[in-house]
A and B are shown apart, each in its own frame.
Chain A
Amino acid sequence: MENTVTVTIDGITVKVKPTATILEAAKAAGVRIPVLCADDKLHPYGSCRICIVEIEKSPRKFTPSCTTPVTDNMSVKTMTPDLAEARKRILELLLNNHPLDCPICDKAGSCQLQDLVHEYGLGPSKFTEKKRTVAPSYHSNVIDREVSRCVLCGKCVRVCREQNAVGELAFTRRGDKSKVSTDFDQPLDCEFCGECVEICPVGALTTKQFKFKGRTWNLERIQSVCNYCGCGCRTSFETRLGRIVRVRSGARNYLCSKGRFGWDAVHHQDRLTTPLVRVSGELVPATWDEALAMVVTNLNVIKNKKGADSIGGLGSVRTTNEESYLFQKFMRTVVGTNNVDLLARLKVPKGLNTVFFSGELSKISDHDAVLVLDGDVGELNPLMGIEIVRAVNRNYKKLVLVNSGFNKFNRLASVVLDYLAPEAALADLLPAMKSGKGGDRVVAAAAILKEAASVAVIIPGRTTDKEFSQIKELLSLLKGVTTYPIVRRSNLQGAMDMGVLPDYYPGYQKVGSDTMNRFAGSWDAILPEAPGLNALEMLAGIKTGKVSALYIMGDDPAGSDRGLKDILNKLEFLVVQDIFLTETAKLADVVLPACSWAEKYGTVTSLERRLQQVSRAEEPLGESKPDWDIIQTLARKMGGPMHYGTPADILNEIRSMVPLYADLAMGGIWARERSPLAGADMDLSLWSDTVMKNEVITADRLLFSSGTMIGRSREISTLCRTKAEV
C-alpha cells in the first residue's frame, strides 16, 4: 500500500498522500477552502492568498493551503474568526482597484470574486484613494481583455503555458502595475482555444461572441459533444430563449477554438430551410412531399432499369450513429445494394480498427514516454495535443517527437527527430532500437523508448504502406504500448462501427452468407449477397456508367476536390442531404435539408470508441429535419418498414444487432478485443493518388480548418483573416 499521512481538517481526520497539499487534504475531508488562483489543472502558484488556513502549533499565523504540503498529524483549521477577517482583508485589497462594473460584466453571477465578496460580506472599504484603471484591449479576434477587472491570479498565463504550451499570455511590469499582456501588447496570435477565458475567475477575459448576450443565471445548459474532430470533447450548449449563445466545456476539461467558438456555423445564413429540386436546370424550393417523391421515382426507375447496384450511398462522419446505421440499412434493405461507404476512409491511418485502436486520451500522461510520429497532432486532434503537453508539463514524462517543422512540441520534446517524413525517421530509429547504433538523436530517442516501461504512440493520420509496416515493427520493440491514431473526422469511428462500409455489416461483421442470413432475418429484408463498391469504386463506376445514382448524406466531396464535380455531373441522379447548400449539393437533383448537430438527439462514438450523447439545444431550423427522420420517411415511401419514434429506438435496434454496442453504457468505451477484426493484420482505409489527394484546408492553419461546418463559422473565419493579414 502506498504510504499515507494523517491530517485533521476542522476536526475531520483523513489519510492522504504525503505529497498532498493542505487544500487537497481538505477536499478529501469534504471541507471547502475558498480559492482564486488554484486550479486542479495547474501547478500550485499561491498568489491570491485567499486560501490561507491556520495550522496548529505552527510558528506562522496563516499558511496558504494550496501550496503547502501536509505533514503527518498536522491539524488544520480552515475557518476561524481571524481567518474570516484575514480573507475579508484580502478581498478588500482585491477590490481596491477593481472597477466593480458587475452590471455590465459578462461574468457576473459566476464570478468567483463576486461570490467571495458576497460570502464574506464586505462592508464599506477603508480605501479612499483613486482607483487605478487600465485600458481594456478589444483588438484581438474572439477574445477581449478587460484588464482592470483582473485580479492577477495568473491562471490564464499558466493554462496557456502549462496546458497548451502556447505561452501567448504573460505578466508585464511589476507591483501594482503588473498586468497580463501579450508580447508588446499586440493582438492575440495563438490557438484561440479560449481556455484562458474559461479559467479566468473574474470577467477580465471575455469572448466577443458572448458579449452582452445574456446573464449567466438566465442561461439553460444542455450537455452534448463537439462534432469537429474525433476527440469528442464534451460540450455544454448554453441557450437563452431557445437560442445558443455560448458553448463551454462540458467536463471542465478542454475545448479548442473550433469546439468553443465554431458552433455559430449553425446560425449561418447559408443553412438550408426547405428541400430543393432541380427544375429546368435550376434548384428551386419544394415541399418535402415533392422532393421525396422525386427521389423515390428516380431511384426506383434506375433500380428497375439498371439494377440496385447501379445506385450508391456515401455516408457521413458528421451524422450520428443512429443516422449512419439507418443510412446503411436503407441502402442495403430498401435500395438493395451494399454500395455504401465513407469517403472519409481516404483520411484515416492504415490499420485503424484492426491494428491500431486508440487508448483513452486522458491516459496519455500515464505512460513513461510519448512518441509522436506526426508533429501536426495538435492541429488535427487538438485534445490529443493537449494531453501530450500535460504528459510533459504536468507529469514530467519524456516526449520523442518526429517533426519536419517547428511547433510547440519541439520545445517540450526530450528528443526531436527532424525528418521530412515519418518513413525516413523510422528508417533510422528502427536500427537504433535494435543495435543502439545511429546518429546521436536517434540513439537518444531509442534509449528513452527502450527504457520506458510504457509508451504512448501517436500514429499519423495518414501513413504509407512502408510506414504502416515500419510502425508495426517498432511497436513490437516497445513495452507497454498504447497507440493513439490521429482521427481528424468527427464521427468516423461511429460511422465505421455502424457498418457504413461496402463489405461489413454493423459491428465489423463481414458481408457473407452466414451474416447475411442473420441480418436479413432481423431486418426482415432480402439482402444483396456480394460486397458493394467502395467509395473510390463508386466514383470510378460513374465514369464507366456502372453507377448511375448517388445518395450523399452529409458529405461534400465536390467541395473537397473540385475535380469531382465533373464526375458527379455525369450521374443520372444525385440526392444530397446536408445542412448547407454545399458545392456538392449545388450539383444535386434533389437537396434534402437536414438539421444541424445542435438541433437533434443521437449518439456518436469518439476516436476513443466512447459512446456519447448528442442533445438538442435548438429547434430545427425552418423545415429541416434530422437525417434519421429523413431516411426513414424516404424508406417508408419506398416500401421499407422503418418506424422509429426517436433516435433511442434506433439505438435499441443497434444494441440488438451490434454486439460491441449491446451493453455499452453512455460514456463507456467498447473493448477493442471484442471487435471481430481486432488484431487482424489488415487495412480498412482507402488510398487514392488522385481523389482528394490533398487535405482541404478551409483556413490557413489546420487547427482552424475542418471543412463544411467550420468554414461557415463567423468566429473561426475571423481567425483565418488575422493570419492572412500578417
Chain B
Amino acid sequence: MEKMLLKRVDIPNSADIDVAMKNGAYSTLATAFGMRPVDVVNEVKRANLRGRGGAGFPTGLKWELCSRVPGSLKYLLCNADEGEPGTFKDRFILLQDPHLLIEGMIISGFAIGAERGYIYLRYEYPTALVVLEKAIEQAYAKGYLGKNILGKGVNFDLSVHRGAGAYICGEETALIESLEGKRGQPRIRPPFPASQGAWRKPTVINNVETLSNIPYLIAMGADAYAKIGAETAPGPKLYGVSGMVNKPGVYELPMGTTLRDIIYTHCGGVRGGKKLKAIIPGGASTPILTEQHLDVTMDFNSLVAAGSMLGSGAVMVMDETVNMVNVAYVLVRFFAHESCGKCTPCREGTSWLYQVYKRLMHGEGKLDDIDLLLYICDTVKGKCFCPLGEGAIQPVLSSIKHFRGDYEQWIKSGKSAHV
C-alpha cells in the first residue's frame, strides 16, 4: 500500500511548514472549504472512518451528533495523551508531521462548527510539545490558523494543553475535566461530550491518528478511501509493534492486516529465531493472544471475535523465554498506579491484584492465589465506572486463561524475582 499517514515522515525536516507544504500539507483545506460543513461530515460518515483512539467509534456519527447541537461555541479536542503502555504511534505523527494533524483539525473544526481546538498532549512528550508549538506558530504565520483562513471566513484557533502525567486523562471525559483545570477523573455520561463537553459546550474529541486521516479522506473522497483496508473499518492503520521482533516500529498498513503479516512480513519475525509465545494486540488493556491467533486480521470486529480488542493497535510480541506471570505483574502494577481512584472496584481491585502479584513475584505465592486472582477479577468485572478498571483485569484473565502453566510452575518453583 502506498503510505498516506506516514507519507512525509521520512523527508528531512518534515515538521517544518515549508517542507510539509512542498509535500502537500494544507492542500486539502481549499477542497474542504469548498464543501458545506455538513457535506464534510457526510463524507466522513460515508467513508466509515472509525476512531483510532481505542474504541473504534464511527467518527462521522460523533461529528454529526455534535454539529446538530444548536449553539455557536463548540470545541474540538485532539487526544494526544497516548498513555496506553506499548502505544507510540501518535508520537510519530506529532514529531514528524505535526502539520498533518493541524490540517486535519482545521477541517474537522470546520465540519462540526468549532472555532476553538486544543491538543491535549501527554506530559511525557516534551519534544512533541516543542515541535507542536512551533508548528502551530508557523501555521498562524501562514494564515492557516486564526481568523478568516484562506479568506473563506473560516476561523480556527488552536493551542496545546499539556497533561500532568495521568493515563486516565486519555479517557475523553477525564481529559475534559483535566483541560478545565480539574482533577482528572471521568465524568458521568450522559450528557455525552458531543452535547455537553468542555465547559459544558458541545465538544468532539478525536485521536491524533483519526484526525490525521481527515485530509487524505477528504482529498481522495469517501469512495476511494473506503476501498482501503477492512470493510467494517476502512482506511490505513498505524500499528506500533514492540517487543521481541527483529524490526520494531510504527507501520502503516491497511486496517485488517493479519498479525502474521505484521510480525513476520513487516517486522522480520521473532528476534533470535525464538518461538512466539504471546501477543498483546492493542495495548495493555487488550487481552493477550497466542500464536494460534496469528491469522486474525487486525481490525475492530475480528479482534473482538478472537476474544481481544484492537485498542490502539499497539502490538507487543513476546517469545518463549517470557514468564507470563511477570508480564501480568508489570501490567497490573501499571493499572493500580494509574487507577484514578474514583470507583470502588477499580481502586480497590487493582490495588488488591497488585499486592497479590507482588507476593507471587517475591516467591510467596500459593497455588490458591491463582483462583484468588480470578475471584478479584470477577469482583471488579462489569462494575467499574470507566473502561480503565475493566481493562485492568484483562492481562490477569487472559494470562491465566492461556498460560496457567506459567503460574503453577512459578509458584511451585518458589523462585523470587527482583521487582
Chain A residues close to B by CB (< 8 Å): 44-50, 52, 60-62, 64, 67, 69, 86, 89-90, 92-94, 96-97, 126-127, 129-130, 132, 151-152, 154, 170-171, 173-178
Contacts and interface: CB of A to CB of B under 8 A. Distances in A.
Given A46-B188, A86-B383, A93 B349 contact: yes
A90 B339 CA distance: 16
Which of A44, A67, A151 has its CB near the most chain B CB atoms (within 10 A)?
A67
B379 interface: yes
A50 B257 CA distance: 43
Nearest to B336: A175
Contact of A152 (B341, B345, B385): B341
A376 B11 CA distance: 64
A48 B348 CA distance: 11
A23 to B, nearest CB: 13
A47 B344 contact: yes
Nearest to B341: A178
Given A174-B184, A174-B339, 16 more contacts: A47-B342, A47-B344, A47-B385, A48-B343, A60-B382, A61-B382, A67-B188, A93-B352, A96-B352, A97-B351, A126-B372, A171-B185, A174-B341, A175-B336, A175-B341, A178-B347
Nearest to A69: B190
Nearest to B348: A93
Contacts of A64: 385
B337 interface: yes
B375 A175 contact: no
Interface string B335-376: 011111111110111111001100100000000000010010
Contacts of B375: 126
A47 B339 CA distance: 13
A49 B347 contact: no
Contacts of B351: 96-97, 132, 175-176
A97 B352 CA distance: 10
A129 B183 contact: no
A48 B382 CA distance: 13
A176 B348 contact: yes
7 shortest interchain CB distances as A-B pairs: A178-B341, A176-B351, A93-B348, A175-B339, A89-B379, A129-B355, A61-B382
Nearest to A89: B379
Given A47-B385, A48-B343, A60-B382, A129 B352 contact: yes
Contacts of B184: 174
A44 B342 contact: no
A93 B339 contact: no
B167 to A, nearest CB: 10
Q: How many B residues touch the partner, as a band?
A: 20 to 34
Which of B184, B188, B375, B383 has its CB near the most chain A CB atoms (within 10 A)?
B383
9 contacts: A49-B343, A49-B344, A62-B383, A67-B188, A96-B348, A129-B359, A152-B342, A175-B340, A176-B350
B241 interface: no
Nearest to B188: A67
A695 to B, nearest CB: 37
A69 B188 CA distance: 11
A126 B372 CA distance: 8
A92 B379 contact: yes
A80 to B, nearest CB: 14
B344 A93 contact: yes
B343 A47 contact: yes
A99 to B, nearest CB: 15
Contacts of B343: 46-49
Contact of A97 (B183, B339, B348): B348
A46 B189 CA distance: 10
Nearest to A43: B188
Given A61-B382, A97-B348, A152-B347, A177 B341 contact: yes
Nearest to A173: B341
A60 B351 CA distance: 24
Nearest to A91: B344
A452 to B, nearest CB: 20
A93 B389 CA distance: 14
A47 B345 CA distance: 9
Contact of A127 (B168, B347, B352): B352
Nearest to A88: B379
Contact of A48 (B339, B344, B350): B344
B196 to A, nearest CB: 11
B356 A129 contact: yes
A672 B347 CA distance: 55
A175 B344 contact: no
Nearest to A82: B382
